[in-house]
Each structure stands twice: as structure tokens, then as C-alpha cells.
Structure 1
Amino acid sequence: MSVTNTRILIVGAGVIGSIYAVNFSRAGYDVTMFARSKRLAELQKNGLVFYNAKTEKIENANVKIIDTIFNDDAFDYIFVTVRYEQIESALLDIKDNCSQNIVTMVNNPFGYDKWEEIVGKGRIIPAFPGAGGKIENDILYYKLTTRLIQSTTFGELSGERSSRIMQLYNVLKSSGFSASICDNMDAWQKSHLAMVIPMANAIYFDGGNNYTTAQNREAIQNMSLSLRENFEFLKNVGIKITPIKLNVFRLCPIWILNSIFKMIYNTKFAETLISNHAKNASQEMYLLSNDFAELAQKNGAALKYLYLKE
């Protein structure tokens, strides 16, 4: 599979979809983006506009914009970059398309059986992005995360290192992303949610942003306790904490976690990668909180520190 003939479809034209579309196109891939409503109108009028941090200029990505996906239009990879509450609708949009590789870059607490029921077995490649940012005045501003923080993580449901997984790895790496192949994406997703739900909920608990949350002792304390509780739950029910480094939330003293998060939340990094997403995706995060609590309940656990929408 060469760059010149690799076709990629992005379903979901928000921040994450736009980031991956920009980097894929800059690497020379043939990129198409499916959009709707207000975002479709913006893209049709101005194109995919982004801020290039290296040149410090506003630029346009070479991306085709469509509002209809034809069943016989074949792509090497379809990236689904919508929010959790939109995933089933998005999969219904592409289920009859002939493309075989559907990369779902979406949070998932319950596994992939239902998603495979929609599109068919063997088509889904579970994944999660390693990037964050915002769209402001129709311009994308973004930052890629390093391997130390979080790579773009993906893998076969079977854990196999298949040819399409290795090809996907090369596509991501050639496009400037840090990429990691995981042999248990279901465990990775549950572990990821155990971490990010308390981080977002701290913002909601505070009612402000990352900077005000950094000064809110109760919000930081509750986040640390929720992190500890979530990872203890995963360990106790036999869900492998993935990657293993996330065990730090079980093992680190609460007062140290409090100190670390107070410093982290008082940074531009937290604004870009935590606060912006929390504020723009509150419906998604509240739904994920409730579904994660349901997952715990089904396994006989109660999460008393999880902040749920009333």
C-alpha cells in the first residue's frame, strides 16, 4: 500500500477528525471527509483550515469534502471520529459501504459486539486518538500527544498483528502520529475511561475550567479518589489494566496525586487536552460516566466517587 494510492475517509468532521485529516493529507494520502450541518457548510465554504504551528501560518489542507457516502466508493481505511453518543448512527451511515477497514476512534465501555452487529464481523479496528485541540472561528488549532502521554492506540479485536494493522501503523507514523499497537483494546478502552472520566468530571464538579479546577481542593481530591476507586474496580473484576503504567492511580498516595494534578491542571497542556474536550463534549462524558457506573454495577461494584449528572 503506497501513499499515492491509499484512500482514507474521515467520518466525523469535529476536532479529532479534522486533526487526522490534516496530517494524513500533509503526508500525501488521498483524504475525504464526510460532514453534516453547520460544519459541512463551513468546510464547503472555506475548506479545512488549520493553524500550522511550525510555520505559524493559517493553511488549508488538501481534503475532499462530501455529504454523501456511496456504497461502491472503496476506501483503504474509514476513520470514525464521532462522539460516543453518535457512534451507532455513524456506523449505520457506512454499514453498506464496500470498505472493509473501519477504525473506530471512540470511547467504549461495553465492548464491540453491538458495533459489529451493525457493520459486520471483522470490519472494526478499535482505536483511540492521540491528539487534542479546538476549532475556533472555523480554524483548527491542535496538538499531537507523545508516546509518553498517549499514542494513537489501536489493534485487532483478536489481538493479532495482522497485515492491515501493520499497514495502519505505517500510515499513522508516516503522518506524524505516535502510534501504538495494543493486543487487548477492550481492556485498554476500559482503563482509558477509568482515567479520563474523573479528569473530565473534575471540571464539571468545579464548574469552571482547568485553571479554576486546579485551585479547587474538593474537585482535585474527588478526582484522585475516583481514579483510585476506578482502577481498583478494574483490578478486582479481572480486567487487565492497560497499559500497566496506569496502575500508578491505584498505588500512588492520594496526597501525591492531588499535588500532581493541581500542577497539571494549571497548564496549557491541560487546557488543550483535558478542559477543551470536557467543555465541548459534556453530553458524551456524562453518558460515559453513567455507562461506566453501569459496567461496575453489572460486576457487583459501586463507584461512590464517580460524579454523575443529576
Structure 2
Amino acid sequence: MSAKQSRILIFGAGVIGSAYAIKFIEAGIDVTLFARSNRFTALKENGLQYNEKGAVKSIKVNVIDTLEDDDIYDFIFVTVRYDQSESALLALKDNHSQNIVTMTNNSMGFSAWLELVGDRLLPALPGAGGQIKEGILYARFPPKILIATMFGEISGVVTERAEKLAQLFKTAKLPCKIHNDMKSYLITHSVSDIALLSVLHVGNKIIDEQTLTTRKTAHRITFTLKAYLRAIQKAGVAIHPSVFKFVLLSPNLILDFFFMLWLRSKMVKDMLLPDYANSANKEVVQLNNDLLKFLSQKDITP
């Protein structure tokens, strides 16, 4: 079966799911998008609306809000936040599709996910970001040199289905890479997200922009990132990508300066919008709690 003949379901109509849906649809791939409530209604009535170079466009998408057990797809992409991942996989538990691609963070390994969907699981991490504002997707696909969609078997073996998935991304002109240690890759990425995104909240409130851009806030990122990277290394987790190894070797002053620049970027200012900041906080809290559980099982404290 060619990539274009593949039938795929994207379970989750947020930023990631919507961004990938557009790319797959434009490539002529059979795509169904699973959405709920207001998002489902908006997609049915208006199509998938997105911003392209300042212009709002719309693309027709097949959208469902219920999934039958015998509604079978070649690949199901789970594109929800980490704190929603188990409930999403529970909803897919009895569906007979054989390949479930979890495109989300993971800070403690795959045991809980495997209990729900077994060896159908194929972990991944998306190479896209962005926001949805007033129902319109503002997607960001960074250059291939910076980030690509990463995926791979838990065993590290390059299987036929992994190669088929790579062909699917190639057809959609989406950079991708098959990785042989997705557990380490996802835990390392989770550490990065915990360090970077936890500063968006102070207590139960979204941080104000003036406080966000101080060196003190930047140093919180530096301190957390280094502490957690050292901790996962002690736990036997290989640091991927290897660029994070340079973080451990870099002086705090240089890292603080780098993160101060990042905190003053437009991308971070957009992250302070309540919808994004509050959703990110829920995910980061769950990632952090599960990472600490993972480390405590190995008697390691960051």
C-alpha cells in the first residue's frame, strides 16, 4: 500500500493534530480528524481554518466525534497533551487498528501505555508547534536542521511499519527520522519542556511579562535543566539529542543570557496567552510529577 492509499486517523484536533492533518490532506492522503464539542462543530461547519502568510484559508477535512471498534485505520496518530494521553489511549483500546502513533511527550517510559494498547504502540514526537486563535491555526514547522518528527519502535529495531510511516511523512514533505531510543529521546525532551515551560506560571498565576524577562527567571531554566539532565543521566537515560550534553558543559552565565533572549522572543510572548499557558502548565505538572516518580524508583533526587 502506498502512502497516499493509507488511511489515517488523527486523534486530537489541537495544534499538532490540525497542523499534520493539513500537510497530509494536501499530499492527497486519506485523513480523518477526531474532535469533540465546539472544535468538532467548527470543523464540520468551517473546515480546518489556518493562517498562511497572513491570509486565512480553509481546507475540507473529514471529522468524527465517535470511533467505532471496527473503524480501522492504517495509522492512528494520538496528538493530545501528555496529561491527556492515557485517557486517549483508553478510548482507543478496543479499536482494531494495528498502529497507534503517540505524538506526545513522555517522562517515565511506556509501561502504562503498553498496558492499554500493547505492541500497537509506536512512540513519536512531533516536529511542529503553534497556536489556535479564535479557531484559526497558526502553525510553525521549524527548519529540518532544527527539528523533525521523531519516531521509532520501543525495541529500537527498524521495522516495516516504521519504514511505512517514514514514507507517509516523506509523501507529505514532512522531515522525519527513525530513532533507536525513543524512551531516552522523549525523557530528554520532557526535561527540556519542564525547564522551559514551568516558568510561565508562578504559583497559580501566569507570570507577568516584566518578571518573565529577568535574568532570575532565565537562571531558573538553567538551574532546572542542568539538574534534571544530570539526574536522568544517573538514571541511565542517554541524552538525546546530544546538543543537550553541551548544556551541562556550558557556563551558567552563557546559558542565562541565551534563555533571557529566548524569553523576550515573540514566540514566548504568545505563550503567555491564557489558553496556551494554562494548557502547558497542566502538561508540565504531569510531566514533572511522572519524571520525579521515575527518578525516585532509581533512588535519584534532582
TM-score per shorter chain, which class?
Answer: over 0.9
Q: Distance in 1 between matches of 2:32 and 2:220?
A: 42
The alignment's C-alpha RMSD in Å is 1.9
1:5 paired residue number: 5
2:39 paired residue number: 39
1:299 paired residue number: 298
Report the Cα offset of residue 164 of structure 1. 1.1
TM-score (norm. length: structure 2): 0.92
Matches within 5 A, 1:1-80: 1-53=1-53, 56-80=54-78
Report the Cα offset of residue 151 of structure 1. 1.4
Report the Cα offset of residue 221 of structure 1. 0.8
Q: Distance in 2 between matches of 1:183 and 1:197?
A: 23
Q: Distance in 2 between matches of 1:275 and 1:239?
A: 32
Report the Cα offset of residue 278 of structure 1. 4.2
Secondary structure at the counterpart of residue 137 of structure 2 = strand
Relative to 1, partners in 2 of residues 1:271 and 1:131: Cα closer, same or farther, differing over 3 Å?
farther
Report the Cα offset of residue 214 of structure 1. 5.3
Moved more, 259-268 or 25-34: 259-268
2:196 maps to which of 183, 191, 199: 199
Secondary structure at the counterpart of residue 126 of structure 1 = strand
- Report the AA paired with residue 37 of structure 1: S
2:279 paired residue number: 280
1:118 paired residue number: 116
Report the Cα offset of residue 190 of structure 1. 0.8
Q: Distance in 2 between matches of 1:175 and 1:63?
A: 16
- Report the AA paired with residue 169 of structure 1: A
- Conserved? CA contact 1:27–1:174, under 8 Å: yes
- Report the AA paired with residue 247 of structure 1: K
Moved more, 131-140 or 288-297: 288-297
Relative to 1, partners in 2 of residues 1:41 and 1:247: Cα closer, same or farther, differing over 3 Å?
same
1:152 paired residue number: 149
Q: Distance in 1 between matches of 2:213 and 2:4?
A: 50
Matches within 5 A, 1:159-198: 159-198=156-195
Report the Cα offset of residue 90 of structure 1. 1.1
Q: Per-residue displacement from partner, 1:18-41 (whole Å, max 9, x unpaired)?
A: 111111111111110111112112
Report the Cα offset of residue 275 of structure 1. 5.4
Q: Distance in 2 between matches of 1:3 and 1:296?
A: 40
2:91 maps to which of 58, 79, 93: 93
2:131 paired residue number: 134
| Matched residues, number | 298
Secondary structure at the counterpart of residue 201 of structure 2 = helix
- Report the AA paired with residue 156 of structure 1: E
1:306 paired residue number: none
Segments of structure 2 that go 5 or more residues without pairing to the other structure are none
- Conserved? CA contact 1:74–1:98, under 8 Å: yes
Moved more, 10-19 or 280-289: 280-289
Asked if 1:240 is matched to 2:238, the reply is yes
Report the Cα offset of residue 74 of structure 1. 1.7
- Report the AA paired with residue 7 of structure 2: R
* Percentage of matched positions with identical amino acids: 37
- Report the AA paired with residue 202 of structure 1: V
Relative to 1, partners in 2 of residues 1:214 and 1:147: Cα closer, same or farther, differing over 3 Å?
farther
Secondary structure at the counterpart of residue 2 of structure 1 = coil
Q: Distance in 1 between matches of 2:133 and 2:143?
A: 24
Matches within 5 A, 1:225-236: 225-236=223-234
Secondary structure at the counterpart of residue 295 of structure 2 = helix
- Conserved? CA contact 2:206–2:277, under 8 Å: no
Q: Distance in 1 between matches of 2:287 and 2:254?
A: 27
Q: Distance in 2 between matches of 1:27 and 1:280?
A: 30
Q: Distance in 2 between matches of 1:104 and 1:293?
A: 22
Secondary structure at the counterpart of residue 281 of structure 1 = helix
Q: Distance in 2 between matches of 1:188 and 1:68?
A: 32
1:253 paired residue number: 251
Q: Distance in 1 between matches of 2:284 and 2:159?
A: 32
Moved more, 182-191 or 57-66: 57-66
Segments of structure 1 that go 5 or more residues without pairing to the other structure are 304-310
Q: Distance in 2 between matches of 1:275 and 1:20?
A: 24
- Report the AA paired with residue 126 of structure 1: P
Relative to 1, partners in 2 of residues 1:85 and 1:35: Cα closer, same or farther, differing over 3 Å?
same
